[in-house]
Structure formats: C-alpha cells, structure tokens
Amino acid sequence: MARHGGRGWYGRVIAAAVGVTAVAAATSVWTAQAGPVDGRQAGAGASARPSASGAAEPGRAPVPVEIVHASDRGARGVNITIDDGPDPDWTPQVLQVLRDNGVKATFCMVGTQAQAHPDLVKAVVAAGHRLCDHTVSHDTTMDTKSDSYQSQQILDAERMITKASGGVRPLYYRAPGGAFTPYSRHLAASRGMRPLGWNVDSKDFERPGTDAIISTVENEVPNGPTLLFHDAGGDRSQTVAALREILPWLKQQGYSFGFPVLR
C-alpha cells in the first residue's frame, strides 16, 4: 500500500504544526479479508498500552482496538472515507457531490487543516458526516516514532478537530499511510476513536485520471467496504469528477452507504 510520502503539501503542514503542545471487532463478511490492506498494520493481539494521558474520559464509551473495515450497513454496505482535509477549494465540492447523491461519509482530517478551516469542519458535521482523527501533520513514519510523539500527534489533532467542529469529537483514528502501531491503536481506542483502515485505495491522490480512479474502485470494491479518497493535498478535481460517477454506480450495483462500525 502506498504511503504517499514526500508530499510538498505535507511539508508545509508539518511546518505549521511546529510548536503544537505535546500532550475496536468488526462484523461484516468482508472483515476477515481486510487485514493485509492497512500497510504496516499492527497485530491485534499486541499488548502495548497508552500512557496515562490517554485514559478514557467519563462518558466516552470504550471501543475495540482492532482496525475496523466493516460497514454498519452489512454485507452490501460501503463506507466512503475522505482524507487529508479540510481544504477550502475541494472540500466544498466533495460535500456537494455527497449531498447530490444522498451519501454520508467519514472525513479523516489533519489537525492543522481543521484548525485553519473551522467553518469547513462545521459544514462537514452539519451535513451529517462523521469525523476522524488523521493526526496533526500526516507523518507516514508514525510507526517508527516514540510513544510520546505518537501521543502528541493523535491527541493534539483530536483537540484541534474537536475545537474546530464546535465540540463534536472524532469517532475514528486513521494512521497516515496505514502506519498503525499497537500503542497508537490502544491510545485512540482509549479516547473513544476506533482505529480505521481501508479496503479500496482509489489511487486518487496520484491523479491518474478520472477514468482510472473509477476503474480502480469498480474493480476493487469486492475487496471490502471501506473506500479511500482525498479532498486535499493538491488538485482534487479528478476525485470530484470520479465521485460523481462512482456514487450512482455503487447504488446501481445494489450497495448502500454507511459508516465504519464502531463496536
């Protein structure tokens, strides 16, 4: 699975993040097929635990630490997930396509982007979509870093996104590039955020052309329900155009749209 490394846009995000204070069993028929697609996915039986700073808060129900792929709509459900935003140019267009098709999605937001565009975070929430913590700076080498660094990236992003949304917390955590660790999964789960993987990488980040994005999704959707797209990190016009074709096609194939299961 591509790690999407070496992105200039993320370099700017990381620079913007300097100085930020340091601080899950699936039920779908697809779940058993989903394990290998999460990059350096950590083993579900690992014993690492988060530090005390990641203790669950009162009122926040615990969620499983396993990486979820299944849809709450069952065997014919699909989950649309949108990564790396919000972005002032592309997020509104993605929201419009989703609205036009009556589809709800999960937006995996980078903390500094959420902090910079709180109006867009609020628009995502107001439209009935769910939020996901995608760390402060989208470091795809997260799984090689210290526990304290992982904690800072996850917890600071959670706070940024929650503040930008007006108090709505992210329900999921997606490691950049699939760079999960046992520690990060346990930490996220202790905060009520289910670790979230994917089954189908649309490859839209590479801008291969609208037709190529559509073809990838059509060919690979049998692999599982959770589809990965992007609304930031560069020109996302191909993503918007592809979604206009993919969402009606999925409906025609008998799929319904849902969210990744939480518990």
186 is catalytic: no
State both tokens at 24.
């899950």
Burial pattern 24-54, b for ≥16 Cβ within 10 A else e, equals bebebebbeebeebbbbbbeeeeeeebeeeb
| Closest listed residue to residue 69, CA positions, set 258, 262, 225, 250 | 225
4, 134, 138, 230: the catalytic one is 230
| Closest listed residue to residue 120, CA positions, set 173, 165, 168 | 165
83 is catalytic: yes
38, 83, 87, 231: the catalytic one is 83
| Closest listed residue to residue 160, CA positions, set 60, 58, 21, 260 | 21
State both tokens at 78.
């699909």
Within 8 A by CB and 6+ apart from 5, the residues are 140, 141, 177
Active site residues: 83, 230
